[in-house]
Structures are given as structure tokens and as C-alpha cells.
């Protein structure tokens, strides 16, 4: 009898109007965590034993989980009445906090870089402590890095163009702006891949400077890959007319993330590419 009363109470609570979105039970978080664990273990097995099976399984599971999870989120956002005002505010706060956490990642990388930039004697060299270390040939900042900077700055304007078109109800302009932004993101990744393959130093035998360089620029490149994926999803949704001038937070979140990637790259270009080169030239 008590069970029937409890069930009836839950049914009454579920029918009471409220401004919150009650998320349905889902298995995707568990599968996502298991896939991430497989990826982490797979990296260890691949690095130490040359076995890539676990890594491949983890990556396949992670990408599959991302697809089905995003599919469910898109369906929720398109269902009338689910994402009310309080829910939308919570999503905005969540995205803002996520970007803030990403900022702290890069703060740690810049802290590490400037620790050796201003105090190169900490590297343990007895003679001529300079930064970059003696014998390290840096990348010309006015070659591929400058090209990548122009590409990312242009992509920031095109994603803003797409957002403006969306607010004006111009879906065709939104699709065009997103398509150009995606192409510029891919162009940046191609430029960075070319730069890495032609770098005068490498990650494994270069010392402190290459380690600081590759961890900062490589982590940023990883974020560009993620941001490009976000924009591709938004492009597909825009082509399916799933955004409206009133409801398009998925697009806004992707645009916020892309502008964050742009700003971080400007700091990387000035601090690591330009200041790093000027320090060795001045010396």
C-alpha cells in the first residue's frame, strides 16, 4: 500500500508545472567514462608496448558516445517546453564555467613557459643561461604562425557573421558563415601540422623549450579540433533549420568556445613565437 502511495505522489509531482528540465535516465555518461578510461589506458599501452588495440577501442567508443549523446541533447533542445528560461540560464553558466576551467589549463602552461623565460638559470646550465636555450633554432613567427593567426582572426569574424545572420533570421547566411568558419579551422590545422612536421626541434630530444612549446601549442590545436567539431555540428543543424533567432544556444556555445580559442592563440603567438624568437635574436 505504501508503494502505491509513493508512486502516486511521484506522478503528481511530475505533473506539477515547474521551470526546470528533468533529465531522463541515460547510459551515455557511464559509457563515456568507460571509453575515456580505455583511451587513457590505451595511450599507456601504445607508448610502452606498441599495442594500439585498447586505444582504438576507446576512441571508437568515445566517438560513438559523443554522437548518440549529442543526438539526444539536440532532440531535447528541439522539444517544446523542455529548455525553459531557468534551464537556458543554467546552460549558459555551465558553458561559461567550462571555458573558465579551460583558461586555467592555459594559465598553467604559460606559467611554466614564463618560469623559464624569465629565469633560464633554473634549467641548470652553468654558462650563458638564456631563453630559448643555446643551440635551439626557433620557428620564424612571421611564416606559418602569422598565417595561422590571420586565419583564426578571420574565422572569428565569419562566426560572428553567421551569428548575426541567425539573429536576423537569414538561415542561408548562417550556413555560409559557418561553412567558411569550418574551412578556416581546417586550414589552421593543416598549417599547424605542416609546422610540426618541419619544426627545427622535436618533442623527444629537444629539452625544456620544445616541451613547453609543443604542450602549449599542441593543447591549443586539440581545442581547435574540438571547436571545429562543434561548428560542424552547428552547420549540420543550421542546414536542417534547427536554429531560430530565439532558440540557438548550441550555436552560441560553439561561438563562445571558438572566440576563446582565438584569444588563446593570440597570447601563444605573442609570448611563445614572437617573444621567444626576439629573445634569442637579441642575445
Predicted TM-score (pTM) of this structure = 0.82
**4, pLDDT greater than 60:** no
Angle at 271 (CA atoms; ends 268, 130), nearest 5 degrees: 135
Least confident of 48-57, 78-87, 245-254: 78-87
pLDDT of residue 220 exceeding 90, the answer is yes
How far is Cα 111 from Cα 154, in angstroms, rounded to an integer? Answer: 28
* CA-to-CA separations, 177 to 15, 45, 172, 263, in angstroms, rounded: 42, 42, 9, 20
| Domains contained in the chain, CATH given | 1-81 (1.10.287.70), 84-282 (1.20.120.80)
Instruction: Please give the sequence-ordered ranges of beta strands (E in DSSP) within 173-238, or none if there are none.
Output: none
Q: What is the pLDDT of residues 61-85, one digit of tens each?
A: 999 998 898 888 888 877 776 777 7
Whether the upstream peptide bond of residue 132 has omega within 30° of 0, thus cis, is yes
Query: Does the pLDDT at position 236 exceed 70?
Result: yes
Lowest mean pLDDT segment, chosen from 118-122, 220-224, 225-229: 118-122
CB 148 within 8 A of CB 191: yes
Q: Please state, rounded to an integer, the average pLDDT across all residues of the chain.
A: 85
Q: What is the pLDDT of residue 90?
A: 86
pLDDT of amino acid 15 = 54
pLDDT score recorded for residue 17: 65
Nearest to 181 by CA among 141, 238, 106: 238
pLDDT digits (tens, 9 = 90+) for 139-158: 899 999 999 999 999 999 99
More confident residue, 48 or 159: 159
Lowest mean pLDDT among 4-18, 30-44, 62-76, 140-154: 4-18
Amino acid at each position: 500500500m505504501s508503494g502505491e502511495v509513493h508512486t502516486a505522489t511521484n506522478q503528481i509531482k511530475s505533473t506539477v508545472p515547474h521551470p526546470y528540465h528533468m533529465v531522463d535516465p541515460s547510459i551515455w555518461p557511464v559509457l563515456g567514462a568507460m571509453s575515456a578510461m580505455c583511451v587513457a589506458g590505451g595511450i599507456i599501452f601504445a607508448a610502452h608496448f606498441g599495442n594500439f588495440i585498447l586505444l582504438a577501442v576507446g576512441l571508437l567508443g568515445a566517438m560513438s558516445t559523443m554522437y548518440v549523446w549529442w543526438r539526444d541533447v539536440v532532440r531535447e533542445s528541439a522539444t517544446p517546453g523542455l529548455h525553459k528560461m531557468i534551464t537556458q540560464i543554467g546552460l549558459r553558466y555551465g558553458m561559461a564555467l567550462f571555458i573558465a576551467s579551460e583558461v586555467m589549463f592555459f594559465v598553467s602552461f604559460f606559467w611554466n613557459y614564463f618560469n623559464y623565460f624569465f629565469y633560464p638559470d633554473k634549467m641548470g646550465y652553468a654558462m650563458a643561461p638564456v631563453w630559448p636555450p643555446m643551440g635551439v633554432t626557433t620557428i620564424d613567427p612571421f611564416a606559418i604562425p602569422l598565417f595561422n593567426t590571420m586565419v583564426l582572426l578571420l574565422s572569428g569574424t565569419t562566426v560572428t557573421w553567421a551569428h548575426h545572420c541567425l539573429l536576423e533570421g537569414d538561415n542561408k547566411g548562417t550556413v555560409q558563415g559557418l561553412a567558411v568558419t569550418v574551412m578556416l579551422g581546417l586550414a589552421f590545422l593543416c598549417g599547424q601540422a605542416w609546422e610540426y612536421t618541419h619544426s627545427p626541434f622535436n618533442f623527444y630530444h629537444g629539452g625544456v623549450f620544445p616541451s613547453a612549446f609543443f604542450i602549449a601549442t599542441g593543447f591549443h590545436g586539440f581545442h581547435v579540433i574540438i571547436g571545429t567539431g562543434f561548428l560542424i555540428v552547428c552547420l549540420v543543424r543550421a542546414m536542417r533549420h534547427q536554429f531560430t533567432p530565439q532558440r540557438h544556444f548550441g550555436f552560441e556555445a560553439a561561438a563562445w568556445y571558438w572566440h576563446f580559442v582565438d584569444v588563446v592563440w593570440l597570447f601563444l603567438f605573442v609570448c611563445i613565437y614572437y617573444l621567444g624568437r626576439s629573445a634569442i635574436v637579441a642575445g
